[in-house]
Every structure is written in C-alpha cells, then in structure tokens.
C-alpha cells in the first residue's frame, strides 16, 4: 500500500494523449496530488512505437506504470493470438499495481489498456470516472461504462452510447500550450504546413507525402511529425534531397511542451482526425485537410472529421481517395480560400475552452 499525504489519483488508457495531459495540468494547478498513469508499453501491437504517456505525461512528473495488456484487433494478423493471450496478464498486472497504490479515484480515457484498470478498480471498490473524447464512443469506454461511477463526455452526441444517469457533457480538455495559441488572421508566405498522424504517425499520410515531397517543399514550409516507424525514412529523404531546415523539419514525436509552438506556427494542417487533434483545431481555427482512419470503431474518426467540416474548418478526404493528386488539389484550394475559411470561423466558440476545469472538478468531487 502506498503511503502519501497527498490524494492518489490513477489515470489509465490506451490512447489518452493530450486529453490526459491537459487534465494533469489542471490537477496540478488545483493542488498537490500523487498522480500515476497505467497504460500499455506500445501504441501499436507488435511494434516499438512510444505512447504519449511515456514522454508527455512523464515530463509533467506523472509516475508511469506500463502493463502488458492485449487488445481486440479489428483484423486478423500475426499479432492477434499473442495479443489475446496477453489479456489476462493485463488484468493481473493492473490488480497488483492498484493494490499497491490504493488510489482514491481512477480516471480512464479509454483504449485497450484502460479496461483492465477500470475492471480491477471496480472490484476493489475504487470510484471510476471515464472520459470519452470522440463524438461517438470508444469500444473500451462502452464496456467500461458498466463499472464506472461517472462518465465525462466531450460531446452531446455521445450520450446515446452510455447510461444517461452516469453521463455528463464536460467537453474535451485542451493543453494549455494550445489554448494560448492566438488566432491567425494572415497566411504566411510561403504557407506553413504542419503534417501529423498522431503520436504513432500515419503510414497512409506519410506515403503520399513521400511521393510529393518536392512539390511540398517548393510551395510550403513544412513541419512533419512522422511517428517512430517512418522517422528514419524521412530523415534519409531530407538528407538525400538536400532539403533545408527552413523548408522541411521532420520529427518522430513532438514534445507536448513545444507542440503549441508548432500549432501557432502553422497556417494549414494535414492530419488524421483523432478527437484530440480535431478539438484543438476548433480552438486555433486554422484550416485542415483531414484523412480519417478508416477502421476506427463506430467510424469515430470519420465522425470527428465531419464535426470539423461542419464547424467550417476542415476538408475531408477518405483514405481510399487520398493520393498525390487529391492532396495537391485540396492544398491549393485551401491556400486560395484561406482568408475566407478563417474569417467564417473566427467568431465561433468551442465548448472545450473550459473543459479542463469542468472535468477536473468532476474528478475532485470523488476525493
């Protein structure tokens, strides 16, 4: 059992990302808490790809506990059976950690590594709070909802997937670094393009970018976050083509402490449509071209992308239609209409500006 004068809070999840980061920032602003995060060792099954917690939350002083936990895969691969065999290990591992820490509350952000922590917490009689980032619902959170005391939702549209008596709309917590970004009123010359596929990167986006790198660096200044798996490939490409740092910077992962700097720098985004990124778009109000992950549960990335499109800030290209020609066409169209796009959304308000405060107040009500 952990001995501490501070209340112990356990966060958990398979893809907690910037939502957990923003939650920790607000918790640390409110008081002194002993904060721990329980999550998976890798963001991709069978590959060495770092998770957000391993660098983002750790840099905030959060204690990180990696568990060996399998996930239910959407298609059969060579990793499917080994992953399923790891599922019971994850439950045992989570139970041991929770007994040792004896937290006052557990906060899960969904994902395959979140459910074992939620279930074991419920068995131990520890209050469990969920946060659903998408505009629909994640698979793990839907299962976890039966064992939760309260569920914080990013959007009203998620309510139909969860028990009504437990659910409350709080918005999606946004990191302070992004909230501090000022809305741009003039496009840079040449335009600044930020490419990201999330922490793990996007192979689909990276492949098309690879094919048209000459066009991109001729017409834009580019910052490209590739993920761990493609980083060396693009670093080699940059060296081979003698591309200057001014025209093209490549990162495997961007530290969340400096992420806001690049969001501020950017004029246009090319990205997947994960909930965390989409809600950041609504804060900074800059145009984006979104390529939704086609295999997400309940088509959540497609729904997130539609949400951004309806807000007026995004063009959406289905992955099956995403190729050099469609990307170039959309980029040129966004540059041409940049002033109009930004002007049309400049007065729109996002629910997420105060989401961190609302969600942390919910958490602290259980202490």
Write the pLDDT tens digit of every residue in 9-46: 999 987 668 899 999 999 999 999 999 999 887 655 44
Structural domain spans, the chain: 8-175+352-364, 184-345
Using alpha carbons, select from 316, 11, 299 the residue that is nearest to residue 138.
299
Residue 49 pLDDT = 56
At 271-300, the pLDDT tens digits run 999 999 999 999 999 999 999 999 877 889
Same topology between domain 8-175+352-364 and domain 184-345: yes
Residues listed for the chain: 367
Mean pLDDT of 168-176: 97
The better pLDDT of the pair 193, 73 is held by 193
In angstroms, the Cα distances linking 95 to 38, 120, 162, 292 are 11, 6, 25, 35
Mean pLDDT of 308-332: 97
- Look at residue 365 and tell me whether its pLDDT is greater than 50: yes
At 329-352, the pLDDT tens digits run 999 999 999 999 999 999 999 989
Residue 257 region, left (φ>0) first, then alpha (ψ -120 to 50), else beta? alpha
Residue 337 pLDDT = 98
Contacts of residue 100, defined as CB under 8 A and 6 or more positions apart, other chains included, come to 1, 2
- Look at residue 145 and tell me whether its pLDDT is greater than 60: yes
Write the class of the CATH domain 8-175+352-364: alpha beta
Residue 46 pLDDT = 46
Q: Which of 40-44, 61-65, 319-323 has the lowest mean pLDDT?
A: 40-44
pLDDT band at 165 (very low <50, low <70, confident <90, very high): very high
Residue 47 pLDDT = 52
The better pLDDT of the pair 158, 53 is held by 158
Coil, helix or strand at residue 104: coil
Q: CA geometry: angle at 355 spanning 354 and 361, to 5°?
A: 100
At 224-243, the pLDDT tens digits run 999 989 999 999 999 999 99
Residue 128 pLDDT = 98
Residue 79 pLDDT = 46
> For residues 112 and 277, what is the distance between their CA atoms, to the nearest angstrom?
20
Mean pLDDT of 137-141: 90
- Look at residue 163 and tell me whether its pLDDT is greater than 70: yes
> For residues 229 and 49, what is the distance between their CA atoms, to the nearest angstrom?
7
**CATH second-level architecture of 184-345?**
3-Layer(aba) Sandwich (3.40)
Contacts of residue 187, defined as CB under 8 A and 6 or more positions apart, other chains included, come to 267, 335, 338, 339
At 82-135, the pLDDT tens digits run 555 556 788 999 999 999 999 999 999 998 889 999 999 999 999 999 999 998
- Look at residue 206 and tell me whether its pLDDT is greater than 60: yes
Tell me how crowded residue 338 is: count the other CB atoms within 10 A of its CB: 19
Tell me how crowded residue 183 is: count the other CB atoms within 10 A of its CB: 11
Contact predicate 18/31, CB 8 Å: no
Query: What pTM value is reported for the model?
Result: 0.90
> For residues 202 and 174, what is the distance between their CA atoms, to the nearest angstrom?
22
Percent of the chain past pLDDT 90, that is, above it, reads: 76
Residue 181 pLDDT = 95
Residue 56 pLDDT = 84
The better pLDDT of the pair 326, 112 is held by 326
């Amino acid at each position: 059992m952990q001995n501490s004068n501070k209340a112990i809070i356990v966060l958990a999840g398979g893809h907690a990302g910037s939502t957990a980061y923003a939650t920790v920032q607000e918790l640390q602003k409110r008081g002194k808490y002993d904060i721990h995060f329980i999550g998976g060792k890798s963001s991709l099954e069978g590959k060495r790809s770092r998770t957000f917690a391993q660098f983002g939350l750790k840099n905030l002083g959060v204690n990180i506990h990696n568990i060996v936990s399998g996930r239910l895969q959407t298609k059969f691969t060579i990793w499917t059976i080994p992953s399923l065999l790891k599922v019971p290990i994850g439950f045992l591992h989570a139970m041991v950690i929770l007994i040792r820490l004896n937290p006052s509350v557990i906060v899960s952000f969904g994902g395959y590594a979140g459910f074992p922590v939620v279930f074991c917490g419920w068995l131990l009689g520890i209050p469990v709070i969920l946060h659903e980032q998408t505009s629909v619902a994640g698979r793990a959170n839907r299962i976890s909802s039966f064992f939760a005391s309260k569920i914080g939702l990013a959007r009203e549209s998620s309510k139909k997937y969860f028990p009504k008596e437990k659910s409350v709309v709080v918005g999606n917590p946004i990191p302070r670094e992004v909230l501090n970004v000022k809305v741009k009123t003039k496009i840079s010359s040449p335009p600044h393009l930020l490419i990201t596929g999330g922490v793990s990167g996007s192979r689909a986006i990276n492949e098309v970018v690879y094919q048209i790198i000459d066009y991109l660096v001729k017409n834009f200044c580019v910052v490209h976050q590739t993920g761990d798996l493609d980083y060396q490939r693009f670093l080699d490409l940059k060296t081979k083509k003698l591309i200057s740092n001014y025209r093209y910077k490549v990162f495997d992962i961007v530290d969340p402490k400096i992420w806001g700097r690049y969001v501020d720098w950017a004029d246009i985004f090319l990205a997947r449509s994960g909930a965390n990124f989409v809600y950041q778009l609504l804060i900074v109000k800059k145009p984006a071209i979104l390529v939704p992950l086609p295999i997400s549960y309940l088509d959540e990335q497609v729904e997130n992308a539609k949400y951004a499109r309806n807000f007026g800030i995004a063009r959406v290209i289905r992955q099956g239609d995403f190729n050099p020609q469609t990307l170039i066409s959309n980029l040129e169209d966004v540059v041409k209409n940049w002033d109009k796009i930004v002007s049309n959304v400049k007065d729109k308000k996002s629910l997420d500006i105060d989401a961190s405060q609302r969600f942390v107040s919910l958490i602290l009500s259980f202490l």
